[in-house]
Amino acid sequence: MAKDYEMKLLGSGGSPFVTRVKFALKLKSIEYEYIQEDLANKSELLLKSNPGLQKVPVLFHANELPISESLVIIEYLDEFLPDVHPILPSNPSDRAQSRFLAYYIDSLTERKEELKRLIIEGSVMLEEAFAKLSKGKAFFGGDEIGFLDIVVGCFLGWIKFFGIIFGFNVIDETRNPRLAQWGKSMWSHEATRSVIPSDEIHMNFFKMLLGFLPLMPDMPIPA
């Protein structure tokens, strides 16, 4: 049963960083109010609550200051409710490794050039990390969905979408057999399946992004 801690999430439908926070809220069984942001016409609420970056997600918790940046929000939620579905690994070395990979993955999303090569290299790195961190279990977090499952899993809808429109498999059965299996476990998990946005939401978000982001040179524009 979800509990009400007076939380509100400012987000935008197809944003993987927002999906990430929704996963964490779901796993922690936290009830929240979702406020839809129009990134093409940013609201006062966004500009006031995250003036420096002007990006979603932003989490509001009762009368506390708003919290921005998905990774910071997830760590906040984990510290706020440490006993309900712990997210970060308990082992300090695994925790450091997971945080490093999270920052590394997010640094890739900032890159515009050689993105395809970097994604492939990143997927190989994650394949190796999975072998170590999962300890032979279904998730990075072991038996349960953990920090890296959330951080990487938020891209699963986009990975599927990119496969459909560009024919580019970010996770490849031959290159990343463990990650491919992990992807299936994630898609079949209720907490993630119910949160991953639909293809239609991805398409709408993608079209909105095309309006104000420079394109990768080899990116075909969908109709």
Ligand X SMILES: N[C@@H](CCC(=O)N[C@@H](CS)C(=O)NCC(=O)O)C(=O)O
Name the residues that contact ligand X, by CB under 6 A: 12, 15, 17, 39, 54-57, 69-71, 106
Which is nearer to ligand X, 54 or 181 (by Cβ)? 54
Minimum distance from CB of 18 to ligand X (Å)? Answer: 7
Which is nearer to ligand X, 54 or 169 (by Cβ)? 54
Cα distance between residue 108 and residue 97, in whole Å: 17
Q: Give the residue from 6, 7, 37, 41 showing the smallest Cα distance to 22.
A: 7
Which is nearer to ligand X, 38 or 121 (by Cβ)? 38
Cα distance between residue 109 and residue 43, in whole Å: 24
What are the DSSP calls for 147-207, one per residue? HHHHHHHTTHHHHHHHHHHH---SS-TTT-HHHHHHHHHHHTSHHHHTTSPPHHHHHHHHH
Which is nearer to ligand X, 24 or 138 (by Cβ)? 24
Cα distance between residue 151 and residue 19, in whole Å: 9
Minimum distance from CB of 38 to ligand X (Å)? Answer: 11
Minimum distance from CB of 55 to ligand X (Å)? Answer: 3
Which is nearer to ligand X, 104 or 185 (by Cβ)? 104
Minimum distance from CB of 58 to ligand X (Å)? Answer: 9
Residues 13 and 209: beta-carbon distance below 8 Å = no
Tokens of 120: 């492939």
Minimum distance from CB of 136 to ligand X (Å)? Answer: 30
